[in-house]
Amino acid sequence: MKILTLAVMLVISTAVAAQTKAQTTTEVKKAVAVELKGDAAAGAGKVAVCMACHGEKGRMPNSPIYPRLAGQSSEYLKSSLHAYRDGLRQGGMAAMMSPQTATLSDQDIVDIAAYYSQQ
């Protein structure tokens, strides 16, 4: 009985340790994401494919179904791109956007957000 109790305690403490480690990793990742600075010039080199729908500089979408990106706040653009990439923004025409973001890194996202916010 004592051995069983010990075994259960060991399993629980291992699980708690693993969870604590996971939380710490998440917190570190969040802290890093917050620190990333967008570089609009770098962003300009990452939007060639986006122009096909959103138009040059995101100003003149090629069809009314594509939203204008120029001048939107960088925070909003960043949050939208993360949401498409991470599958949190769905429905509507999000199915068209999600594949566009699949290969974007966190740095690509802040650079692109900086670029469109300044057009």
Among residues 45, 67, 71, 87, the one that binds ligand HEC under rule CB under 6 A: 67
Whole-angstrom distance, CA of residue 87 vs CA of residue 73:
21
7 or 87: CB nearest ligand HEC? 87
Are the beta carbons of 15 and 88 closer than 8 angstroms?
no
Q: Is 28 in the site for ligand HEC (CB under 6 A)?
A: no
Question: How far does Cα 17 stand from its chain's mean position?
Answer: 28
Applying CB under 6 A, the span of 5-13, 17-25, 32-40, 93-101 interacting with ligand HEC comes to: 93-101
Nearer to ligand HEC, 9 or 95 (CB): 95
